[in-house]
Amino acid sequence: MTAELVRGQNHPLPDTRLEIRISAGNPVVALATLGDADGRVTDAGRVAHPGAPALPGVDVPRTAAAEHRLAVDPAALPEAVHRVSVLLVLPPGEGGPDRFGTAAAPYVCVCAPEGRALVAHTLTGLGRETAVVALELYRRQGAWKVRAVGQGYEGGLAALLADQGLERPTELAATVLEAAARPPAPSAAGAPETGPRDAPRSAPRDATSGGGTISYTHLRRRPSAPVPAPAAPVPVPTASVPAPASGEPAPASPYPAPVAGDAAGWSMDERLYNQVWGMFEDLARTAAGYRSARDFAETRLDQELDQALSDPRARIGGVGDAARAAAKARHDDLVERAREVLDRDLDRLAAESEVVEPALPVAYARWDNPVWHAYRAPDEPPMAVRLGDLYLPERPELRIPLLVRLPLERGIWVDSGRDRSGAAGVLDPAEMRRLALDTAVAHTARLLAVHPPGRFAVHVLDPAGSGSAAFAPLVETGVLAAPVARGAAGVTTVLEQLTERVDLLQMALRAGAPDALPPGLDTARQLLIVHDFPHGFDDRAVTRLRYLADEGPSAGVHLLLVADREDAAAYGPVLDPLWRSLLRLTPVPDDHLADPWVGHAWTYEPPVLPPGSAVLRQVLAHVAGARPQSPR
C-alpha cells in the first residue's frame, strides 16, 4: 500500500536502500543535500548534484530530464548526516517553463529496492518558484522517516541553498546548472549508471550553460555501498497514485522503543534539549499535515458537489443523490486515512513523552518531577529553562515543554488581564492577578534554581505592597538581592541603579575594557520583577523601564513584568514597543502563542505547583544556603 502524503505529513521508512523516482512532465535538475541535526548543510561537499553526483549514501542523476531516479542508502550515510533533502530545479533556457506554476505538478515516489512504492507526494500549489524542496528523509531516534515538504523558492536554487546554510550559494547554484546542461561523459564498460536509465544520454538540452549550531563533521564517515541500476524502468504516474482502499490497516511502525536523550548533542543537557524541540517539530508538522489533508478533503467535496449540482442530468432520479453520496464517501475516506496517520504519529510522540519527561533535569522538569527533591545548586547554567508547556487541540493531553534559551534574550510579561474567551474570561479580576503573581514567583524560583549560586540576583518592585503574600517565599528564604521596593521612591531608586548598571556595562563592552568596571559592581545577572505596573511609575520611570526592556538583556538585566495592559491604557501607543519586546505568558491556559512556521496557535499552559507542595520553598532555601556570603 502506497502512502499518499500531503505537505507536512511524514511516514516511517524501512532500514534499506531506497530509490526516489521523480516525474515532472518537463526537464528538471534533481539534486540532494545532506544536513546535520539542525538541517544545516555545512559545506558544498554535502551537496550531490550533476557535477558531483555521488556522495556517501546518495547518488543523483547527471543531467536535467523529465524523469529521474535517485538512490539513497541510509546505512551508508555519514553519522553526522541527519537529513537528506531532495531538491528540484528548473533549468534556465528557452523552450521550458520558467516557473513551477506553469508546469505539470512534479510527482515524487519513494520506493523499496524491489520497486514497490512506499510513499508518494505530488507537489501542488506552486507558483513563481523555480526551485523546490520536494521531500526530506530525516533520522529520528535511530530510524528514518520521510516528510513531504513542497517548499518553493522564487529566488531559485541560490536562495534555497542559502536558506539551508551554505556559504557562497550563488556560485554553487551556477556550477550545478552548468553541469546539468553538459551531456554526461560515457560510463566505463560494466560500470553502473547513476543517471536515469530511460533518459537519453546525449539528448538536446533546453538549458544553456553558464552563468545560493552544532557541526558534527568530526565524526567518522562510512563508505557508500554501490548502488546498482534497476533492472527495468517502472512507469511512474505524473499526477497522483490511487488512494489505498478504505479499511486497510496502516503499516506497522518500524521504530524502536523511545529512549530519553538520543538526540544529537555534546552533553545530556543538550541532547534532551534537542530531543524536546524535535518532538515539538514533529507535533507541529504532523498536525499541519492532518489539517492540510482535512482542508483538501473539504475543498474537493465542495467542488464535486458543485459539479454534480451544475449538471442538469443529476437532477433526474437518484443520480444526484448517488453523486453526492459518492463525494461524501471519498471525503470521509480521505479524512479517516489522514486521522489514522495523525493518530499513529501522536501515539509515537506520546510514548516518547512518557520516557523523556521523567528523565528531564531540574531546568526542564515539571514541578511535580521527583528530581526537584534531590535538588543541588548547579556549577554552570543550563542551555535553557522550562517556562510551561505547549499543546495542540488534536491531542490536548500531549504536552511539549516550552524551553527558552538562556541567557534570556527578551523579558517576560505575565499577563494579569482577563480575556473575553478562554479560562481567563470566567475568573474574577482579583483571582487573575493572584494567579499571575504566583506564576511569576514560580518562574523566578526556577531561574534562581538553575543558575549557580551568586550568579543570578533578583529585585522586586511592589509599589503598593499588594503582592506581599505572593512574594513571601522569596522574602522569607532570603534569596532577594535587596528588600522589596515600595512606593514611588523605591521604584525610582531601583530603576536608577539598574539603568546605571546597564550603562556602565555597555560602555565597558563597547570600549573593549570589561575589566574597567567599578570595584564592587555585582556582575551577576539581574532579574527585575515589576508588580502592579504602572502604579508608582511617573513618566521618567516609564522611560527607564522601556530602556531596561530594550537594552537590559545584552547587559545581563532581565525584566519580569506582571501587569494588565489595560491598566496602562492611559499611556496610549507610547508603551506599545514595551509590550512587543516581551514574551507574553499567561497564568491560565491560553492559545495565544502563534507559530508562523506552520500557522498553529499553540495553547500555552503555565507551570503549576502540586497542591500543598513545599517544593518551591525547599528549593529556594537551598538556593539561599548555597549563595556566597559576601557583601554586595
Q: What percent of the chain clears pLDDT 70, i.e. is strictly above it?
A: 84
Please write down the HEC assignment for all residues of 338-380. Answer: HHHHHHHHHHHHHHHHHHHHHHCCCCCCCCCCHHHHHCCCCCC
The pLDDT score that the predictor gives to residue 207 is 28
Q: How far apart are CA 50 and CA 585, in angstroms?
A: 50
> Binning pLDDT at 50, 70 and 90, where does residue 210 land?
very low
Residue 606, pLDDT above cutoff 90: yes
Residue 413, pLDDT above cutoff 90: yes
> Binning pLDDT at 50, 70 and 90, where does residue 629 land?
low
The pLDDT score that the predictor gives to residue 494 is 96
The pLDDT score that the predictor gives to residue 599 is 79
The pLDDT score that the predictor gives to residue 516 is 66
Long-range contact list for 605-611, CB < 8 A, 24+ apart? Answer: 605/388, 605/389, 605/390, 605/391, 605/399, 606/388, 606/439, 606/442, 607/366, 607/367, 607/386, 607/387, 607/388, 607/389, 607/439, 607/442, 607/443, 607/446, 608/367, 609/367, 609/442, 610/367, 610/368
> Binning pLDDT at 50, 70 and 90, where does residue 625 land?
very high
> Binning pLDDT at 50, 70 and 90, where does residue 511 land?
confident
Residue 236, phi-psi category: left (phi > 0), alpha (psi -120 to 50), beta (remainder): beta
The residue among 313, 291, 315, 295 whose CA lies nearest residue 303 is: 295
Residue 244, pLDDT above cutoff 80: no
Residue 204, pLDDT above cutoff 80: no
The pLDDT score that the predictor gives to residue 313 is 65
Q: pLDDT tens digit string along 430-444?
A: 999 999 999 999 999
Average pLDDT over residues 306-334: 78
Domains of the chain from N-terminus onward: 1-183 (2.60.60.30), 409-626 (3.40.50)
The pLDDT score that the predictor gives to residue 483 is 95
Residue 234, pLDDT above cutoff 50: no
The pLDDT score that the predictor gives to residue 357 is 95
Cell 524536546, located at residue: 276
Q: How far apart are CA 628 and CA 632, in angstroms?
A: 10
Number of DSSP helices (H) and strands (E) in the chain, helices first: 10, 21
Q: How far apart are CA 418 and CA 409, in angstroms?
A: 27
| Average pLDDT taken over every residue of the chain | 83
The pLDDT score that the predictor gives to residue 196 is 33
The pLDDT score that the predictor gives to residue 300 is 87
Q: Hey, what's the torsion of the CAs at 515, 518, 519, 525, to 10 degrees?
A: -80
Q: How far apart are CA 53 and CA 183, in angstroms?
A: 14
Q: pLDDT tens digit string along 143-198?
A: 899 999 989 999 999 999 999 999 889 999 999 998 888 765 443 333 333 333 33
> Binning pLDDT at 50, 70 and 90, where does residue 560 land?
very high
DSSP for 433-466, please give it: HHHHHHHHHHHHHHHHHHSPTTSEEEEEE-TT-T
CB atoms within 10 A of CB 534: 20
User: Rg (Cα) of the chain, in Å, rounded?
Assistant: 29
Q: How far apart are CA 449 and CA 617, in angstroms?
A: 11
Q: How far apart are CA 297 and CA 338, in angstroms?
A: 10
Residue of higher predicted confidence among 265 and 375: 375
**From residue 472, how far is each of 333, 479, 533, 624 by CA, in Å?**
58, 11, 19, 14
